[in-house]
DNA sequence: TCTGGGGTCCTAGGACCC
DNA sequence: TCTGGGGTCCTAGGACCC
């Protein structure tokens, strides 16, 4: 790679990570200014765990992923605003944010719902911070979402710079980490390095590697042995060598999962079957949306992991489909068959799901002259079904056996409206609200 | 009482074949 | 009866990410 760069250090190419601050909480605030500057948390499915927190909520000591029942007191004492998660809204806001980012920096990789990497090629090193700051202001102004920007010569360093930008709350929200800035690396906990999770952190700390700088200086062979080849790439990136490329074109999904934990528990096959049918049918929609077909189907179910006092059972059944398909009735039938196979009476099931793998391209056959082939007819029926569900809202039409699906067995008590995607749930604007 | 959901990749080990 | 090595493919489990 670019030895030439040494000759022109001021035009070195850099990556930046744009990361939305407390994304879900920020989305909730955009449409409800009354909760600005106040503690806000967003909950996972079934209102079980905290999946997003405003800074004020973080300061109260509410942890990421913490079960809600453990922070009930804090919520009450400090009047924390609680919202069930609203992914329709977050997806739409995400699209708006990154469309804006891309209008400034066209080479962009959407990395997750709230993060994107960009390539700052063409921007002079001296101008990078200013350009990023300009983009940041535009995003805030046009979408209402605050973002932080970290700049570095590799994705891993850009991630660390972003971490530093967030750490410095009074700062400008943009941080540039020079490749040789070891003092900064020494200030970053090794567990905060992108790619180092809980287990690896434990291994590293036990070996005296506590900071990002220690990791940068670690022995390559030792890393390869005790972590793996990916962990080693992280080390290379800390040294300024690019090991993870910017991927502008998202690779097609290799698997699709639809699963849920149930608010209570499921004790009869008759209660599980509609849930499985619903999972299979939602996953099939996803298959068709990306024009793939599943070659392998897996159904899994398990009892409550957190109840050691109850009988435990977890199992999964995998079946290979003779012909890869994305046809809902076929997939539902197979899912029920696989589920029946691993079903056992006498357990209280807490979670189940359907997974499709061995995905392969499947182009729907459009407007064939004759209806001779069943799969043509099936393709068109599926297209119609997807179209109606898309326009009318999810689940207007679904496979007969899906019935109510998971409607009666999941919980959602703090929902906010789908402000941006449903006419009947639009925010009401009041002229005297004051913000323009 | 109440504990998320959806992904990726790597590695080791077994089955099977030549 | 005894004895081999190397390759591929698949799967399960474990690590990581948001």
For the cut 60, the answer to whether the pLDDT of residue A434 exceeds it is no
A306 CB less than 7 Å from any atom of strand B: yes
Q: Measuring from the CA of residue A159 to each C1' atom, give the nucleotide at the shortest distance.
A: C17
Residue A393: pLDDT band (50, 70, 90) is low
For the cut 80, the answer to whether the pLDDT of residue A126 exceeds it is yes
Where do the structural domains in chain A lie, given as residue ranges?
A: 15-167, 181-239, 256-367+374-402
Among A173, A243, A245, CA closest to A18: A173
For the cut 50, the answer to whether the pLDDT of residue A6 exceeds it is no
A228 CB less than 7 Å from any atom of strand B: yes
Mean pLDDT of A111-133: 97
Q: How far apart are CA A281 and CA A401, in angstroms?
A: 10
pLDDT of the residue at A180: 95
The architecture (CATH level 2) of A256-367+374-402 comes to 2-Layer Sandwich (3.30)
- DSSP states of A389-401 as a string? HHHH-TTSS--GG
Q: Out of A69-83, A256-270, A406-420, which region has the weakest mean confidence (pLDDT)? A: A406-420
Tokens of A236: 């290379």
**H or E segment to which residue A147 belongs:** strand A147-152
Q: Quick one: what percent of chain A has pLDDT higher than 90?
A: 76
Tokens of A105: 């920096």
Mean pLDDT of A127-143: 98
- Label residue A197 exposed, middle or buried (CB < 10 Å: 0-12, 13-18, 19+): exposed
Q: Out of A58-62, A321-325, A339-343, A398-402, which region has the weakest mean confidence (pLDDT)? A: A398-402
pLDDT of the residue at A378: 73
Q: Measuring from the CA of residue A231 to each C1' atom, give the nucleotide at the shortest distance.
A: C16
Mean pLDDT of A286-298: 94
**H or E segment to which residue A286 belongs:** helix A269-289
Among A240, A192, A233, A229, CA closest to A212: A192
Q: How far apart are CA A243 and CA A53, in angstroms?
A: 32
The 10s digit of each residue's pLDDT in A142-195 is 999 999 999 999 999 999 999 999 999 999 999 999 999 999 999 999 999 999
pLDDT of the residue at A391: 58
Tokens of A119: 């390539």
From the CA of A255, how many Å to the C1' of C14?
18
- Please state the CATH superfamily assignment of the domain spanning residues A181-239 in this structure: 5' to 3' exonuclease, C-terminal subdomain (1.10.150.20)
Q: Tell me the sheet residues that pair with A260.
A: A352
A353 CB less than 7 Å from any atom of strand B: yes
The 10s digit of each residue's pLDDT in A206-246 is 999 999 999 999 999 999 999 999 999 999 999 999 999 99
From the CA of A34, how many Å to the C1' of C7?
66
From the CA of A97, how many Å to the C1' of C12?
39
Beta carbons within 8 Å of A339's beta carbon, 6+ residues apart: A272, A273, A276, A299, A301, A317, A352
From the CA of A181, how many Å to the C1' of C14?
34
Mean pLDDT of A69-73: 95
Residue A1: pLDDT band (50, 70, 90) is very low
Residue A415: pLDDT band (50, 70, 90) is confident
From the CA of A113, how many Å to the C1' of C5?
49
Q: Measuring from the CA of residue A72 to each C1' atom, give the nucleotide at the shortest distance.
A: B2
CATH number at A15-167 = 3.30.70.270
pLDDT of the residue at A397: 53
Mean pLDDT of A70-76: 95
Buried b / exposed e over A266-293, threshold 16 CB at 10 Å, is beeeeebbbbbbbbbbbbbbebbeeebb
Buried b / exposed e over A144-155, threshold 16 CB at 10 Å, is bbebbbbbbbbb
pLDDT of the residue at A365: 60
Mean pLDDT of A81-100: 96
For the cut 70, the answer to whether the pLDDT of residue A374 exceeds it is no
Q: Measuring from the CA of residue A70 to each C1' atom, give the nucleotide at the shortest distance.
A: B2
Neighbours of A372 (CB within 10 A): 8
Residue A377: pLDDT band (50, 70, 90) is confident
Q: Which nucleotides of B are covered by protein (CB under 7 A)?
A: 1-11
Q: Measuring from the CA of residue A64 to each C1' atom, give the nucleotide at the shortest distance.
A: B4
Residue A423: pLDDT band (50, 70, 90) is low
A380, A370 in Cβ contact below 8 A? no
A157, A198 in Cβ contact below 8 A? no
The 10s digit of each residue's pLDDT in A21-42 is 999 999 999 999 999 999 999 9
From the CA of A289, how many Å to the C1' of B17?
40
A109 CB less than 7 Å from any atom of strand C: no
Which residue did the predictor score with more confidence, A113 or A434? A113
For the cut 70, the answer to whether the pLDDT of residue A430 exceeds it is no
Residue A401: pLDDT band (50, 70, 90) is low
Q: Which nucleotides of C are covered by protein (CB under 7 A)?
A: 11-12, 14-18
A58, A167 in Cβ contact below 8 A? no
pLDDT of the residue at A41: 97
Mean pLDDT of A365-380: 60
A39 CB less than 7 Å from any atom of strand B: no
Question: Quick one: which residue's CA is nearest to B8's C1'?
Answer: A254
The 10s digit of each residue's pLDDT in A325-372 is 999 999 999 999 999 999 999 999 999 999 999 999 987 765 445 445
For the cut 50, the answer to whether the pLDDT of residue A110 exceeds it is yes
């Amino acid at each position: 790679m670019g030895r030439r760069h040494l000759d022109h250090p001021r035009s070195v190419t850099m990556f930046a990570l744009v990361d939305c601050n407390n994304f879900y909480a920020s989305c909730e605030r955009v449409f409800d200014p009354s909760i600005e500057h106040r503690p806000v948390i967003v909950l996972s499915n079934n209102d079980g765990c905290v999946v997003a927190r405003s800074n004020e909520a973080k300061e109260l000591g509410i942890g990421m992923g913490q079960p809600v029942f453990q922070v009930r007191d804090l919520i009450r004492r400090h009047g924390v605003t609680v919202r069930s998660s609203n992914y329709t809204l977050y997806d739409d806001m995400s699209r708006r944010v990154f469309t804006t980012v891309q209008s400034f920096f066209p080479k962009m990789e959407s990395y997750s719902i709230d993060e994107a990497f960009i390539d700052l090629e063409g921007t002079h090193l001296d101008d990078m911070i200013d350009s990023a700051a300009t983009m940041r202001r535009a995003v805030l102004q046009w979408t209402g979402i605050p973002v932080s920007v970290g700049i570095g010569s590799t994705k891993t360093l850009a991630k660390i710079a972003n971490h530093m930008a967030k750490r410095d709350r009074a700062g400008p929200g943009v941080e540039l980490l020079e490749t040789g800035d070891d003092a900064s690396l020494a200030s970053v906990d090794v567990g905060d390095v992108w790619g180092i999770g809980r287990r690896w952190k434990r291994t590293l700390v036990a070996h005296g590697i506590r900071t990002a700088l220690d990791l940068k200086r670690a022995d390559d062979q030792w890393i390869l042995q005790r972590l793996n080849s990916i962990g080693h790439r992280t080390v290379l990136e800390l040294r300024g060598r690019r090991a993870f490329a910017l991927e502008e074109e998202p690779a097609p999904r290799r698997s699709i999962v639809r699963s849920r934990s149930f608010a209570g528990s499921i004790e009869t096959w008759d209660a599980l079957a509609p849930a499985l049918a619903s999972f299979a049918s939602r996953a099939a929609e996803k298959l068709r949306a990306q024009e793939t077909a599943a070659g392998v189907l897996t159904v899994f179910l398990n009892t409550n992991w957190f109840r050691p006092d109850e009988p435990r059972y977890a199992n999964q059944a995998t079946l290979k489909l003779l012909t890869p398909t994305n046809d809902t009735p076929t997939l539902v039938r197979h899912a029920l068959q696989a589920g029946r196979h691993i079903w056992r009476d006498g357990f209280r099931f807490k979670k189940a799901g359907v997974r499709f793998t061995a995905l392969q391209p499947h182009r729907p056959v459009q407007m064939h002259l004759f209806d001779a082939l069943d799969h043509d007819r099936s393709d068109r029926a599926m297209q119609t079904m997807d179209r109606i569900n898309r326009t009318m809202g999810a689940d207007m039409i679904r496979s007969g056996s899906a019935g109510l699906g998971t409607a009666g067995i999941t919980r959602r008590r703090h929902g906010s409206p789908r402000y941006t995607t449903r006419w009947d749930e639009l925010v009401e604007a009041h002229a005297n609200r004051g913000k323009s």
